[in-house]
């Protein structure tokens, strides 16, 4: 009898550990096989291990009557119904802190690449165009006005890196942060209207869906740049594509998208956009730390019914 269920695809070494050391089973995909699996095994499951890409919705919770914890590999948990989990006394954990530096490094890299056009310049050289024409001028990266949407752990780490470039930093949160030297903007629109670059580091989930709306992007303006290392759901992707295509925005650096791994064809065709396949935390060291913390959360729950890093 296994008390641990894997939902979705996990890092191979983590999946192997869960299978070998915990006897974990993996939930089949949708269809009769999944239904049969849940009918046979759903009543034994105490803990689910998953990622922000898959999560656990209310319907799956219904099929797991003894579920006590959803253990997320990753910081994002917006695909898990946390309200239903809370109402049922189901703990939800994630892996904060251990990925902060790598995500902040990625935000900085996207910031530099988006303004300076390094990826586009690389393509320019590889395509042999340098022999016939000059690469167009891009924007200076130092001394810019930068707005950070979401000044949590990752937002602060991004701000620290940008300070080294002489950036003037402002931010918006649900509420002001007491111990920071940065100017607070009353709304995302107000933040975007006063900066050259808007960096999105807000948490995902229903509360932040569409937070970077068409109005926010319009306020950022035709000379503005967007960097997103949060969740694709935070940005109105349709409006983003329209404004980038029409000149309403100067450029964007994106690690996340609304319907991953699917990226709109119009977005892929834009040369002033830098596109990454959701790799902000994708380093050997960080993923090892995330795996270790995931297992610590699972072990703690199975031992005493608590988790190390509850959300």
pLDDT tens per residue, range 229-273: 999 999 999 999 999 999 999 999 999 999 999 999 999 999 999
Q: What percent of the chain has pLDDT over 90?
A: 93
Judge whether 237 counts as a catalytic residue: no
**CATH number reported for the structural domain that contains residue 181 in this entry:** 3.40.50.720
Output the pLDDT for position 239. Answer: 98
What pLDDT shows up at residue 76? 84
44 and 112 belong to one structural domain: no
Q: Are residues 152 and 32 in the same domain?
A: no
Catalytic: which of 16, 33, 40, 260?
Answer: 260
Instruction: Please say if 260 is a catalytic residue.
Output: yes
H or E element: which one contains 246? helix 237-246
In this structure, the answer to whether residues 94 and 104 fall within a common structural domain is: no
Residues 29 and 135 in one domain: no
Does one domain contain both 213 and 135?
Answer: yes
Domain total for the chain?
2
pLDDT for the residue numbered 206:
72
Low-confidence ranges of the chain (pLDDT < 50): none
Provide the greatest CA pair distance for the chain.
68
What would the pLDDT profile of 57-93 be if each residue is shown by its tens digit?
999 999 999 999 999 999 888 889 999 999 999 999 9
Do 65 and 188 belong together in one domain? Answer: no
Task: Please indicate whether residue 266 is annotated as part of the active site.
Answer: no
Range of the domain at 205: 100-275
Looking at 231, 287, 291, 300, which residue is catalytic? 231
User: Are 147 and 86 part of one and the same domain?
Assistant: no
Q: Which of the residues 144, 172, 225, 278 is marked catalytic?
A: 278
Could you tell me if 147 and 268 lie in one domain? yes
List, in order, residues 6 or more apart from 229 with CB less than 8 Å away. 103, 106, 107, 110, 154, 158, 199, 200, 201, 255, 256, 280
């Amino acid at each position: 009898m296994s008390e641990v269920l894997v939902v979705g695809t996990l890092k191979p070494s983590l999946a192997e550990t869960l299978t070998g050391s915990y006897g974990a089973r993996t939930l089949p995909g949708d269809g009769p096989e999944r239904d049969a699996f849940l009918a046979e095994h759903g009543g034994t499951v105490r803990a689910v291990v998953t990622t922000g890409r898959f999560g656990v919705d209310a319907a799956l919770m219904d099929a797991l009557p003894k579920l006590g914890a959803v253990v997320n590999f990753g910081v994002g948990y917006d695909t898990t119904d946390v309200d239903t989990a809370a109402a049922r006394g189901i703990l939800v954990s994630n892996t904060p802190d251990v990925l902060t530096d790598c995500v902040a490094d990625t935000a900085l890299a996207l910031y530099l690449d988006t303004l300076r056009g390094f990826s586009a310049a690389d393509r320019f050289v590889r395509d042999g165009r340098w022999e016939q024409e000059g690469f167009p001028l891009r924007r200076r990266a130092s001394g810019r006005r930068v707005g950070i949407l979401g000044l949590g752990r990752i937002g602060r780490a991004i701000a620290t890196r940008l300070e080294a470039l002489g950036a003037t930093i402002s931010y918006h949160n649900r509420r002001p942060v007491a111990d920071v030297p940065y100017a607070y903007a009353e709304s995302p629109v107000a933040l975007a209207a006063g900066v050259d670059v808007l960096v999105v580091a807000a948490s995902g989930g229903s509360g932040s869906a569409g937070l970077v709306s068409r109005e926010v992007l319009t306020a950022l303006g035709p000379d503005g740049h967007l960097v997103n290392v949060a969740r694709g759901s935070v940005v109105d992707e349709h409006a983003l594509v329209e404004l980038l295509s029409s000149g309403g925005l100067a450029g964007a650096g994106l690690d996340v998208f609304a319907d991953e791994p699917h990226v709109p064809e119009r977005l892929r065709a834009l040369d002033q956009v830098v596109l990454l396949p959701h790799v902000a935390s994708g380093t050997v060291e960080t993923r090892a730390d995330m795996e270790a913390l995931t297992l610590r959360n699972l072990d703690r729950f199975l031992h005493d019914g608590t988790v190390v890093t509850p959300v």
